Amino acid sequence: MSRTEETADGGGDLAAEIADWKPPWQRGQRSDTPPDEPVEPGTPPTVNASPRPVETPPKSPPSRQVEPLPFADDLAGTIEAILLVCEEPVGEDVLAQTLGRPETEVLDTLRRLAAEYTGDGRGFDLRRQAGGWRFYTRESFAPYVERFVLEGQQVRLTKAALETLAVVAYRQPVTRGRISAVRGVNCDGVIRTLTTRGLIEECGSEPDSGAHLYRTTSMFLEKLGLNSVAELPPLAPFLPDDITEIGESSET
């Protein structure tokens, strides 16, 4: 075969191969794969972002369930018991909500109780003042109540309390140790009583020992009708001469 025939045969095979040639991305392509869509130049590639999870709002804590009280058969008695412990007037709406009764029923019961107290001549009455209901002493008994409040509750001090109070008044500021040394007995209980009654009070501590110091109060002066402790009558002749040494030795 001449070179010319070989060239002609080779050219035909090359042309057939070129006609059957396919780009790599189309080789072995599945028939069910859709063809690529044309993309315009300058268009950014599309990124399939995963969907963001939906945030669930926090659950609120369960509300505290209040157990209902049993139905009060004696409505009048229940209202009386509540009013006895109230320091301020209570409205009928609050009572109705507490007792689980209609407000009109509670109001009628309050009015009926007030009428009964007045009709029986009780020493107290039930009145609606300052937007609520409350027990009050009856006006006709006011002088006796006033006398009781001002005088009837005044309890006399014991001899031990008077002695302790005198030591504090004349030696203030003074420690418990010195008070006990003068009286010869332990005075802790008496000092607590005088402090509760408002006649003496703490006023710091002693620098050396750190013991609490006590002094009389303004109520003490008011009870005795004095302006200051300087107006107290002299008591030096009735005290031992070595009171300071006794107090210091008892504390050590």
What domains are there in the chain, each with its CATH number? 75-140 (1.10.10.10), 159-251 (1.10.10.10)
Closest CA to 215 of 183, 166, 173, 179: 173
| Residue 41: pLDDT over 90 | no
Distance CA(119)–CA(196), nearest Å, equals: 42
Bond before 173 cis per omega within 30 degrees:
yes
The residues, ordered by sequence, that sit 6+ positions from 180 with a Cβ below 8 Å of its Cβ are 186, 187, 250
pTM over 0.75? The answer is: no
**123 band by pLDDT with thresholds 50, 70 and 90:** very high
pLDDT: which is higher, 212 or 48: 212
pLDDT tens profile 216-227: 998 888 888 788
Distance CA(151)–CA(144), nearest Å, equals: 10
pLDDT: which is higher, 139 or 57: 139
- pLDDT number for residue 232: 86
Over the chain, what is the mean pLDDT?
A: 77
| Residue 28: pLDDT over 80 | no
Distance CA(62)–CA(57), nearest Å, equals: 15
- pLDDT number for residue 24: 60
pLDDT, mean of residues 144-162: 76
pLDDT: which is higher, 240 or 137: 137
Q: Which of 52-56, 73-77, 224-228, 232-236 has the lowest mean pLDDT?
A: 52-56
Distance CA(128)–CA(37), nearest Å, equals: 87
pLDDT, mean of residues 56-79: 68
Sign for the CA dihedral angle at 65, 70, 76, 80 comes to negative
pLDDT: which is higher, 158 or 34: 158
Distance CA(174)–CA(210), nearest Å, equals: 12
pLDDT tens profile 162-213: 999 999 998 889 998 899 888 888 888 889 889 888 899 988 888 888 888 9
**Angle value at C-alpha 42, between 37 and 43, nearest 5 degrees:** 50
**252 band by pLDDT with thresholds 50, 70 and 90:** very low
| Residue 34: pLDDT over 70 | no
- pLDDT number for residue 189: 84
% of the chain surpassing 70 pLDDT: 62
| Residue 118: pLDDT over 80 | yes
